[in-house]
Structure 1
């Protein structure tokens, strides 16, 4: 199922759902950031996804990282909350969602880096190379906030 992301676009379809989601900035020992190239839109993104009824938000991030990358992670902090109503995601099945995303920081505990059916490529990327990748600006915002080493999380 393909998806199209809209931001502050008057031609965007009206949302018909609200999804609580979690994402994670997972880093390696060299400070590189784990990114996936999404199969549904071919853009690079942090691993993450929608919360299940049985999840906590941190648990959702841990589960999504495992499902999408094969890695077991531990949550180490909070980057911020991302709830901008101008960001709308439309799927080919008719769902048009607003997403409430909580972005965490995480470190790798184990596992094997493995491409899932949601991605075409996985890569640890040096922070200075992130902006060279095709990526939705809402993903870039989360990474920028992480790289700013804020003393308190972004609330937006």
Structure 2
């Protein structure tokens, strides 16, 4: 297996110093059967929610819908907010270009509106996973925390 192109550091004194801050979005898409959409990332082989950077000229909701479609093949409708995650101790290193990004992710909820789970250049596998099994998948601890907040059923968004 090739080395990861993305490395997540959490409160690590050996982490590179952040050199960028990019607003991004993740989306918890849950279908009527109570299954959550997960993808297996190509850059680090971890399971994750769909998501990515918000491009200039698009809104948060537009980015969420676009990233979900691009990475998973699923069309979705945004329905709510899980939380905002901005821990400066979480650094994401992209080894291809040396970018060391400070975490800045807004996590939204959505329901599917069409499409079929389809892999992409960013996702080697896409599947619907039972709520009870989602946390059994190998994933970065920041992603796990976001999903745990969603599964907790909290009525107020998580703010960090």
TM-score using structure 2 length: 0.94
SS of match in other structure, 2:139: coil
Task: Report how far residue 131 of structure 1 moved.
Answer: 2.1
Other-structure match for 1:90: 93
Other-structure match for 2:108: 104
Task: Report how far residue 56 of structure 1 moved.
Answer: 0.7
Task: Report how far residue 100 of structure 1 moved.
Answer: 1.1
Question: Partners of 1:55 and 1:114 in 2: how far apart?
Answer: 24
For residues 114-152 of structure 1, give each alpha carbon's deviation from its aligned partner in whole angstroms, at most 9, with x where no partner exists.
111001111111122122211011111111111111111
Task: Report how far residue 79 of structure 1 moved.
Answer: 0.4
Question: Partners of 1:125 and 1:113 in 2: how far apart?
Answer: 12
Other-structure match for 1:62: 65
Other-structure match for 1:44: 47
Question: Partners of 1:99 and 1:57 in 2: how far apart?
Answer: 16
Question: Partners of 1:86 and 1:113 in 2: how far apart?
Answer: 33
Question: Partners of 1:134 and 1:150 in 2: how far apart?
Answer: 24
Runs of 5+ in structure 2 lacking a partner?
Answer: none
Task: Report how far residue 32 of structure 1 moved.
Answer: 1.1
Runs of 4+ that moved beyond 2 A? none
Runs of 5+ in structure 1 lacking a partner?
Answer: none
- What value does the CA root-mean-square deviation take over the aligned residues? 1.0
Task: Report how far residue 58 of structure 1 moved.
Answer: 1.4
Aligned residues: 156
Q: Tell me, yes or no, if structure 1 residue 131 matches structure 2 residue 135.
A: yes
Task: Report how far residue 99 of structure 1 moved.
Answer: 2.6
Alignment of 1:27-42 (within 5 A): 27-42=30-45
